[in-house]
Amino acid sequence: MVADHNPTGTGVRSTTAVDASDPSVIAPLAVLLRHARAEASRYQQARPFPHAVFDGLFENRRLLAVHDELPDRSVEGWRSYDTTHEWKYVFDKVHRLGPAARGLALELSSSEFVQFLETLTGIDGLLPDPHLRQAGYMVAPHGGFLAPHTDFTTLGDLPLVRRVNALVYLNEGWRYEWGGQLELWRSLDDGPEVEIVPTLGRLVVFSTPGAAHGHPKPVVAPDDRSRVCFSAYYYTADDSTVPIERQLVLWGDEGRRSVRLRHGISLLSPPLLTNTYHRRRQARRTVR
């Protein structure tokens, strides 16, 4: 049974007009730190691993501008991943993006956002990766998915250990039955304990390594809508208390077989039939 899990940070959703003189997408530092301190204890105690879900920390109208600026997938710079484990497109060329999309990437590498993460997670000395290696804007098209997995632990030859993931979703009005929920698993041999709908402005933060997660339910949104997310990863200097024996992504065999089957069904089934199936599954508790 998936746990009932309510998002936090709902008290800062903006209802005022966008200030054109202020290009910021995210809330001011004082607001970020207030929410980080309020959620730090719950973050550490969260199951199946330390994590938090925030709504309202981003200016949604600016996030819509970010979404609209993303280049067409025919533009050079997109990387395609179409394997038994995943089907998605990734764009990490920040210098090729428009001002809104570039601004979101820069703000998540800023001192202010890193302070927010350190306060929330209790991990000091976090380092962002401005090169967005294996990160950036991720698009799952109709039928797209990501099998449950645990992430790579080290950053190439650099003496850095991956410690925190931050995901910002850019999907206006996203519904549960459209698939693409982020699932947090107890282990790759088990099943999901938390499901999170990837709706616009939602921020998910969780600690790595060893955090089993993915979005194995294929995207079945109407009108060929894609699931869009910005991902950023944060590191610390080599720490003997953090296991670093594994560098590559680790996939779960059982999750991979189940995901690929659902992927095939989603491509063959009419959207109305697929959406009806997902609505019937909605009795499971989830973050909406």
Q: Which CATH number goes with the domain that contains 72?
A: 2.60.120.620
* Domain limits for position 40: 25-242+249-283
Going 36 to 105 to 206 to 56, the CA torsion angle's sign is positive
Phi and psi angles of residue 166, each rounded to the nearest 5 degrees, phi first: -130, 125
One-letter amino acid identity for 95? H
Give the C-alpha separation, 162 to 224, whole Å: 34
- pLDDT, tens digit, for every residue of 7-23? 554 333 333 334 445 56
Q: Is the pLDDT of residue 4 over 50?
A: no
In a domain, 210, yes or no: yes
Contact between residue 127 and residue 235 where contact means Cβ atoms under 8 Å apart: yes
pLDDT at 276: 47
Give me the DSSP letters along 40-89. Answer: HHHHHH-SSSSEEEESSSB-HHHHHHHHHHSPPTTSTTEEEEESSSEEEE
Give the C-alpha separation, 2 to 183, whole Å: 9
Q: Is the pLDDT of residue 123 over 90?
A: yes
How many distinct structural domains can be found in the chain?
1
Q: Give the percent of the chain with pLDDT over 70.
A: 75
Q: Is the pLDDT of residue 269 over 60?
A: no
pLDDT band, residue 157 (cuts 50/70/90): confident
Phi and psi angles of residue 116, each rounded to the nearest 5 degrees, phi first: -60, -45
In a domain, 105, yes or no: yes
> Rounded mean pLDDT of 197-202?
98
In a domain, 16, yes or no: no
Q: Is the pLDDT of residue 213 over 50?
A: yes
In a domain, 160, yes or no: yes
In a domain, 18, yes or no: no
In a domain, 2, yes or no: no
Q: Is the pLDDT of residue 32 over 60?
A: yes
In a domain, 253, yes or no: yes
Q: Which of 254, 281, 288 is nearest to 84 (CA)?
A: 254
Give the C-alpha separation, 273 to 288, whole Å: 22
Q: How many CB atoms are located within 10 Å of the residue 241 CB? A: 5
pLDDT at 155: 76
In a domain, 19, yes or no: no
